[in-house]
Amino acid sequence: MIGKSVPRVDAYDKVTGRAKFTDDLVPANCLVAKIYHAKIGNGIVKSIDTSKAEALDGVVKVVTFKDVPNHCYPTPGHPWSVELAHQDVADRNILTGRVRYYGDDIAAVVAEDEITAQRALRLIEVEYEEYPVEIHPRKSMYGSKPPIHLDKKDNVLVRSNYFIGNVEEGLKESETVIKRSYKTPIVQHCHIENPISCAYMENGRIIVVTSTQIPHIVRRVIGQALGIPWGKIRVIKPYIGGGFGNKQDVLYEPLNAFLTTQVGGRPVKLDITREETFCNTRTRHSIEYDLTAGVDSEGHLLAKDMLAISNQGAYASHGHAIAANGLTAWRLQYACPNIKGEAYTVYTNTPVGGAMRGYGIPQVCFAIECFMDDIAKEIGMDPLEFRKKNLIRGYYEDAYLKPIAANTNGIFECLEKGAEYIHWEEKRKEYANQTGNIRRGVGMSLFSYKTGVWPISLEIAGARMTLNQDGSVGLMLGATEIGQGADTVFSQMTAEVLNMDISDIHIQTVQDTDVTPFDTGAYASRQSFVTGTVVKDCANLLKEKILAYAKELLPEETRKLRLDHGWIMAGKDPAISLGNLALESYYSLGNSSVITAEVSEQVKKNTIATGCCFAEVEVDIKLGKIKILHIINVHDSGKLINPKLAEMQVQGGMSMGMGYGLSEQLILDEKTGRPLNGTLLDYKLMTMIDTPDIKADFVELDDPIGPFGNKALGEPPAIPGAPAIRNAVFHATGVAFNENPLTPQRLIDGFIRAGLI
């Protein structure tokens, strides 16, 4: 089954509407909760009056920050650590009277219906003491009075750095030294299904049905937020309408869990709006970079220096992990003897930065790959040739995290395929000396991406398999299907090991922390690699148990037994059907023993995926408009488990990358920090009309430590598009734009400064 483009196992139920999402599982007569958000960007609540809201007919309960447990808790979807130094920053309460960004959560209403809840919100009266608002990290990191969080006087959440060789000496030895600065925007995930949960109580326990990527982590964080034992909580994750990292954070599940305890355990639905999703969940961090590099007379990199300043927003969430992950990328792929990296993650009065597809690498890739083009231009070298001259060939390790390595490295093969598709050499020459209003250019970028979080954090996964009475196999995992095709891939892996048809593998897509094996969830492009390792081991264990039981049923058989599409084979001959063996295991009066296998493993390995993007664009200088003519991503993600699913992943990621490059940016009011375009009308996503034909291609090199030769593919497709487009515009116009997205206004401003308009 490995390497076959079998249809998705969830496709029929999803396209027919039979798949049950959280809102489909909300019980009848469920109460409705709505949140009261702050109308200032920084300050404290001096007084709050909820009496009019409480008096409204149909209102069941109103709670404020004064009523919630006084437990600070962390929200990121990271594995818990038993070591205090490695635990996430706990800086948030369920509700707060200390407002840190426009829209902060102050109170909540529980009512019999949504309209009543919304009316009640308008009756709440709040008086504030306002403080100055700062939305820029470079200013915020010099401190504010009062600080955004009292324990961080300079508003710097975390600072980190590393040193390889001697950058100062390397720069002195360089023929050419180049310095540039780059900036990336705040963007939102824009998954189809907004964050939603339903909470109720049974037998003194809280049950939360929620749209999340991390059900087992949600359980733990709810316990921390409420200050109750984690076993008192049960989390159920049904089908989920996308997450892209936003739901790799514990969002409003703790609030909803608290609310049900305040209404006698009655079911409470908390379904936030699209506008709330933009402002009150998580965003991709805006990060600013100052880069310096030195090259010798032949174009070899001799020294690299990076300073990164990350806008964290009002609360820690995933915090410094994003900027630190970008620092890691600075020392990978390109050979250089002298490297320095330093990063600051800074609190500001803006919506909270968290995980988003690529986890800091789209930001740093934009900076690095634009910088590589800028260096090549400075020294008069073709950008592709400059990269080839400096890229590491073959195996290499991370200098600081030795278990992380490119065990297979197909970047040169990827570059060859991409350059051939875009006709790189011909078009670089053809578009070299253009004049006029309409100009064309070709650009490229490349990237590397780790597979999972080991050894920075824990990697653990679990799998359970049961031989059903008809000879089929039930598969239960803690890993979560969030639209990426994980259920299909895991079913293929199981079928491969057991030599069965995929139709005989019945995977449970709903995760339930009471019964589902423990797994930390869907993030870090880890599941097919980490959980796939456990699936393979569990399937092998089940196979051993099946064959051992068959040996007991066939004591006279001396030939080696094996599984073959529903049969136990003895040599070349069928000995007993798997269905009959299963019936014996359930109902035999002499030897009844249901055959199951369960595996939970810590997976201590990691590997690096690589790839590139090539783009051809047409630029209308007077209109400030970019048209993408051709674009291709080429990936080395090891062996493809399901080629069609892989192509789907790449096309979806490329669409996100193009939006990041051309149009997406959450714009904030300078004085209040209020989002000005936090709706799908004003926030400009790529549409079908905007999207060109997308080409995806692959270089399949079996990774020696991947369970089936596979490695990361979930997040990488979203990474290289924005810098490739920017570099193509640079080629077309000669104007280097160092901030994305390349909106018409930004383009026109740049063209005016360059004298083209």
437 pLDDT band (50/70/90 cuts)?
Answer: very high
Average pLDDT of 367-379? 98
Name the amino acid, one letter, at 196: I
The predicted structure's pLDDT at residue 479 = 95
The predicted structure's pLDDT at residue 19 = 97
In this chain, the answer to whether the domains covering 11-131+195-271 and 460-602 adopt an identical fold is no
Least confident of 199-208, 396-405, 643-652: 396-405
pLDDT in tens, 623-644: 999 999 999 999 999 999 999 9
Domain ranges of the chain: 11-131+195-271, 286-454+605-753, 460-602
Instruction: Give the separation between CA 191 and CA 247, rounded to whole angstroms.
Output: 10
CATH 3.30.365.10 is right for the domain spanning 286-454+605-753 = yes
Q: Both tokens of residue 158?
A: 């975390």
pTM, to two decimals: 0.97
Instruction: Give the separation between CA 367 and CA 184, rounded to whole angstroms.
Output: 8
Name the residue with higher pLDDT: 550 or 403.
550
Rounded to the nearest 10 degrees, how much is the dihedral formed by the CA atoms of 114, 117, 123, 127?
A: -120
Quick check: 707 and 533 in contact, CB under 8 A? yes
Name the amino acid, one letter, at 694: I
Average pLDDT of 661-683? 97
Angle at 430 between CA 425 and CA 432, to 5 degrees: 95
Average pLDDT of 135-148? 96
Average pLDDT of 85-110? 97
The predicted structure's pLDDT at residue 541 = 98
pLDDT in tens, 223-280: 999 999 999 999 999 999 999 999 999 999 999 999 999 999 999 999 999 999 999 9
**Comparing C-alpha atoms, which of 319, 286, 320, 288 is closest to residue 306?**
288
Instruction: Give the separation between CA 754 and CA 733, rounded to whole angstroms.
Output: 10
**Comparing C-alpha atoms, which of 308, 298, 301 is closest to residue 329?**
308
378 pLDDT band (50/70/90 cuts)?
Answer: very high
67 pLDDT band (50/70/90 cuts)?
Answer: very high
Q: In degrees rounded to 5, what are phi and psi of residue 11?
A: -60, -50
719 pLDDT band (50/70/90 cuts)?
Answer: very high
Quick check: 502 and 567 in contact, CB under 8 A? no
Name the amino acid, one letter, at 587: Y
Angle at 445 between CA 299 and CA 523, to 5 degrees: 130
The predicted structure's pLDDT at residue 395 = 96
The predicted structure's pLDDT at residue 331 = 96
Name the amino acid, one letter, at 592: S
Q: Both tokens of residue 551?
A: 């040996």
Would you say residue 155 has pLDDT above 90? yes
Instruction: Give the separation between CA 647 and CA 32, rounded to whole angstroms.
Output: 40
Quick check: 198 and 255 in contact, CB under 8 A? no
The predicted structure's pLDDT at residue 402 = 84
Average pLDDT of 31-52? 98
Would you say residue 186 has pLDDT above 90? yes
Please provide the average confidence, as pLDDT, over all residues in the chain.
Answer: 97
Name the amino acid, one letter, at 686: M
Quick check: 742 and 726 in contact, CB under 8 A? yes
Angle at 735 between CA 732 and CA 739, to 5 degrees: 115
Q: How far is CA 155 from the centre of its chain?
A: 26
In the CATH hierarchy, which fold is given to the domain comprising 11-131+195-271? Aldehyde Oxidoreductase; domain 3 (3.90.1170)
Pairing mode, if any, of strands 505-508 and 473-477?
A: parallel
Instruction: Give the separation between CA 664 and CA 303, rounded to whole angstroms.
Output: 33
Average pLDDT of 81-102? 96
Q: Both tokens of residue 617?
A: 């664009």
Least confident of 577-586, 620-629, 684-693: 684-693
- In the numeric block, the tokens 């081991």 are attached to 537
Instruction: Give the separation between CA 510 and CA 501, rounded to whole angstroms.
Output: 22
Question: What residues contact 705, with CB distance under 8 A and at least 6 apart?
Answer: 407, 605, 607
Name the amino acid, one letter, at 463: A
Average pLDDT of 508-532? 97
Burial readout 450-489 (b: 16 or more C-beta within 10 A, e: otherwise): bbbbbebebbbbbbbbbbbeebbbebbbbbbbbbbbbbbb
Quick check: 480 and 521 in contact, CB under 8 A? yes
Which class is domain 460-602?
alpha beta
Instruction: Give the separation between CA 355 and CA 462, rounded to whole angstroms.
Output: 23
Strand partners, 35: 108
